[in-house]
Amino acid sequence: MVLPTQSAKAYWALAGISFFWGTTWVVSKMAMEYFDPLFMTAIRQTIAGLIMMSYFFFKNKYVPTAKEVLLHFVLGFLFFMGANGFTTWGIKFIPSGLGALLSCLFPLFLVLFNFILFKKKIHPKSLIGLLIGFGGVAFIFSGFLDDLLRSEFRGGIMLCLLGVLSWTFGTIVTTRYVQKKNGFGGLGWQMLFGGLQLALFLVFRGESHNLHLPSEAWFLLIYLIIVGSILCFLCFMYALQNLPQEIAGIYAYIIPIIALICGAILLDEPISLQLIIGAIITVAGVYMVNYYSRTAKKK
């Protein structure tokens, strides 16, 4: 029996996150039939973070310093309370596939804020990609003019965009301060902190939640914890460490497609020709930004 090579495992990991992360958008929307989105996210990330952190801590594979704990606290706020919390809350009011499409704008925001904050030059073709990407989003929204008149729909869009911004700032902090060798172990601490921060926020709001729910609700939540948070993030880190960056980044283009298809099948979310064309334009713009930004770095 021939065992798969490290590279082959990394490709399988990439395929896994591309598919299963796409499904989590729809599963999250389905779980909102039973859970408040922020409450659900708090439970999901706290349990997932506790499992991951405990494993690496007690196996003595990663014991953070006080400085690293503080850093993970900040990243937990940006990645899991902010990004995951906002986007999960946002898709309560908009189709899950549309939320996934908005999330793939992250590379565009990253290039823009690196330019604004650190004066990093934008490759001319990356600039064209930025215009194409945002143009694709504008084309998509032109098909939702009636929905945009509803305050809830607009609020969902804003929440998802705030989530993208939070993920962008988390990525900027990570690239500047987090050592690669601490990626796996530190992720658990970030999830745990993000989940606890959300839980504390809900306590301050004085919210109470019914936990006497049908088994389907708990199966959906377990799927999000085990598959969406633990397995997908571990596969994500593994793919990043064992594949070229340009290949590992392919997941960002596949996830919205999976989310759109699953949303149509499981939730009867509409997929129009305009949405498909807009998605293609947006993804093409994001690809250009990614590709030419990496090209500029190599020179």
- The whole-number pLDDT of residue 3 equals 45
* 160/291 Cα distance (integer angstroms): 24
Q: What is the dihedral of CA 192, 204, 90, 146, to 10 degrees?
A: 180
Across the range 117-144, mean pLDDT stands at: 89
Pick from 167, 190, 202, 237: nearest CA to 38: 202
Cα atoms in the Cβ-side hemisphere of radius 13 Å centred on 163: 25
Q: Which residues of 26-48 are buried (b: 16+ CB within 10 A; e: fewer)?
A: bbbbbbbebbbbbbbbbbbbbbb
* 298/295 Cα distance (integer angstroms): 5
CB 197 within 8 A of CB 81: yes
The number of residues making up the chain comes to 299
Instruction: Note the pLDDT tens digit of each residue in 134-156.
Output: 999 999 999 898 899 999 999 99
Across the range 28-56, mean pLDDT stands at: 94
Instruction: Note the pLDDT tens digit of each residue in 216-250.
Output: 999 999 999 999 999 998 898 888 788 876 677 78
Q: Phi and psi for 219 in degrees, rounded to 5?
A: -65, -40
Instruction: Note the pLDDT tens digit of each residue in 235-291.
Output: 988 887 888 766 777 888 899 999 999 999 999 998 899 999 999 999 999 888 888
| Contacts for 195 with CB less than 8 Å, ≥ 6 apart | 41, 42, 43, 44, 45, 46, 47, 48, 49, 76, 80, 81
| Contacts for 148 with CB less than 8 Å, ≥ 6 apart | 141, 154, 157
Across the range 5-32, mean pLDDT stands at: 92
By 3-state DSSP, what share of the chain in percent is helix, strand and coil, each rounded to 5? 80, 0, 20
Q: Phi and psi for 214 in degrees, rounded to 5?
A: -70, 160
pTM attached to this predicted model:
0.90
